Amino acid sequence: MTEIQILTIAAVVPGLAYAGYLYLRDKKEKEPLWLLALMLLGGLLATIASFYLETWADNILFAIFDYPNTLFYLISAFLGVALVEEGTKFLFLNIFSWRSIHFNCLYDGLIYSVFVSLGFAISENILYVYSYGLQTAILRAFTAIPAHVCFGVVMGAYYAKARMLANQGKESLASKNKILGLLLAVFLHGLYDYFLFDPAIDYFYIWLVLVVIIYIIIFATVRVTSKKDRYIDDVDIKY
């Protein structure tokens, strides 16, 4: 086996492992594999779009700031990276799944969102692992990939709620839930990146706590959503 094959496997397998876990937890009605593959493709397209948008954002930030400081890293983490990446994920999630006839259960919104995030994470991981080697693959398997899964879980939970509200004719509330899910994903993503970006303060232990919280969010939300999965039209949300 060549080095490039080893690196490719190391980059891809962790993401596929999470994908398999989520698929097996879909107890009510399994999603078509072609649709899940489309979600992964959406993540790849989000990666490409993010690359160009983040480059543009970096150019603007470096034109504004004489040198990187705390404000620079905050803007970069929350707007230049988190908003761009979660925003592009949300764009392709919405395009590829919102009107799908298969989007009929609570768990569906979560699994669609996470599969888009995994498509992004796997694509991004391949680039990092090819550039920095096998150790990077091992580190990211326990940090960056579950982080993307977490952001997808949070976005997906509200995305499913939005679909239920839309089915009830509550379009305004549906839009608000979509936006809330996106903003929460951006917030968590921004925190994750900021604690890594800013060299002025040692945030390492805070970042480690956040990683632990990320794992709790993933497995608790997936477990509860899978266990309590219902057909969307059987759920009545009252406000």
Give the model confidence (pLDDT) of 12-71 as tens digits. Answer: 999 999 999 999 999 888 999 999 999 999 999 999 999 999 999 999 999 999 889 999
Helix axes 171-197, 144-167, angle to 10 degrees: 170
Instruction: Indicate the SS3 state at residue 152.
Output: helix
The pLDDT of residue 233:
80
- Alpha carbons 218 and 234: distance in angstroms, whole number: 25
Helix axes 134-142, 106-132, angle to 10 degrees: 160
The pLDDT of residue 187:
97
Residues 6+ apart with CB under 8 A from 52: none
Neighbours of 80 (CB within 10 A): 24
Residues 6+ apart with CB under 8 A from 78: 186, 187, 190, 193, 194
Instruction: Indicate the SS3 state at residue 55.
Output: helix
Question: Could you give the angle at the alpha carbon of 146 between the alpha carbons of 142 and 152, nearest 5°?
Answer: 170
The amino acid present at 51, given as its one-letter code, is F
Per-residue pLDDT of the chain (239 residues; tens, 9 = 90+): 888 899 999 999 999 999 999 999 998 889 999 999 999 999 999 999 999 999 999 999 999 998 899 999 999 999 999 999 999 999 999 999 999 999 999 999 999 999 999 999 999 999 999 999 999 999 999 999 999 999 999 999 999 999 999 999 999 999 999 999 999 999 999 999 999 999 888 898 899 999 999 999 999 999 999 998 999 887 555 54
The pLDDT of residue 156:
96
Neighbours of 187 (CB within 10 A): 16
Instruction: Indicate the SS3 state at residue 231.
Output: strand
CB 43 within 8 A of CB 122: yes
